[in-house]
């Protein structure tokens, strides 16, 4: 699927040296979670970037994303955790267990056009702040093509394209959770991988006896920085704690 993001004010054949990059794209945002910032190259999130986050069942995807929303809020950003899989009561129970006190925003909207309108309203209430949308999960989102809410294999592509266009237009960020297949690969079309700026994956270590049971966070794609670092994280009822890391060669 071709994205609709364009820079209409730049003529075809323009000299690359004459292009002025908007200042909003130069100010990276640190999340407040060191292992996330380092996984993205060390400087955190680039404004307008869309990150696809996958993980094995039970690896702690939701826990990590709630922790991220909390940390971003403490850093001064506006962070919204939008759940399409669990009720907000379930989310609140997890937040209480993890003792997350940042007070991030939450939503339970499955219709992408409506979700983005609500994000617009929230951004306008918090002008000047970095804006982050965390979506759990992509495969549960309705892109609005069918009035009856029908979702098919192409819905995820259309939904992701809409979210990506929104982020590029407004210099905000999205972290989109993607479901995985039984083999551990991201569910859906391979096009999803090409539509995003970064990809992160969370798994459970089973081979190394010293690190067995640890969660393994890896960045497999990053258009705005380095990737290839591996982080081993212990997970308990208070969240994640870094145990070890392996830097890319």
Instruction: Tell me the pLDDT tens digit for each residue of 171-201.
Output: 999 999 998 866 666 777 889 999 999 999 9
Query: pLDDT digits over 92-141, tens only?
Result: 999 999 999 999 999 999 999 999 999 999 999 999 999 999 999 999 99
Phi first, then psi: give them for residue 40, nearest 5 degrees.
Answer: -95, 15
- Cβ atoms of 81 and 136 closer than 8 Å: yes
- Whole-prediction pTM: 0.94
Domain ranges of the chain: 27-180+188-199
pLDDT at 5: 54
Q: Tokens in use for 214?
A: 């640890």
The CATH code of the domain at 27-180+188-199 is: 3.40.50.300
pLDDT at 150: 77
pLDDT exceeds cutoff 80 at 51:
yes
Distance separating alpha carbons of residues 234 and 222, to the nearest angstrom: 24
pLDDT exceeds cutoff 90 at 226:
no
Query: pLDDT digits over 15-40, tens only?
Result: 999 999 888 889 999 999 999 999 99
Cβ burial, residue 119 (10 Å; 0-12/13-18/19+): buried
């Amino acid at each position: 699927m071709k994205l609709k993001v364009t820079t209409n004010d730049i003529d075809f054949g323009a000299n690359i040296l004459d292009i002025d990059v908007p200042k909003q794209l130069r100010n990276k945002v640190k999340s407040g979670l060191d292992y996330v910032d380092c996984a993205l190259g060390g400087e955190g999130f680039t404004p307008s970037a869309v990150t696809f986050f996958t993980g094995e069942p039970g690896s702690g995807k939701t826990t990590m994303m709630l922790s991220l929303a909390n940390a971003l809020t403490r850093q001064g950003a506006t962070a919204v955790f939008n759940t399409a899989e669990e009720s907000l009561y379930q989310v609140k129970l997890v937040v209480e267990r993890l003792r997350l006190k940042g007070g991030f925003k939450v939503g339970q909207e499955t219709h992408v056009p409506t979700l983005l309108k609500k994000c617009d309203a929230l951004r306008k209430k918090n002008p000047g702040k970095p804006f982050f949308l965390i979506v759990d999960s992509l495969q549960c989102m309705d892109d609005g093509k069918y009035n009856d809410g029908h979702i098919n294999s192409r819905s995820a592509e259309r939904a992701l394209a809409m979210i990506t266009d929104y982020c590029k237009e407004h210099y905000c960020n999205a972290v989109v959770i993607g479901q995985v297949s039984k083999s551990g690969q991201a569910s859906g079309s391979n096009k999803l991988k090409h539509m995003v700026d970064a990809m992160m994956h969370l798994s459970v270590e089973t081979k190394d006896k010293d690190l067995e049971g640890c969660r393994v966070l890896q960045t497999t794609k990053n258009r705005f920085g380095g990737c290839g670092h591996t982080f081993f994280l212990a997970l308990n009822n208070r969240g994640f704690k870094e145990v070890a890391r392996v830097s890319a060669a």
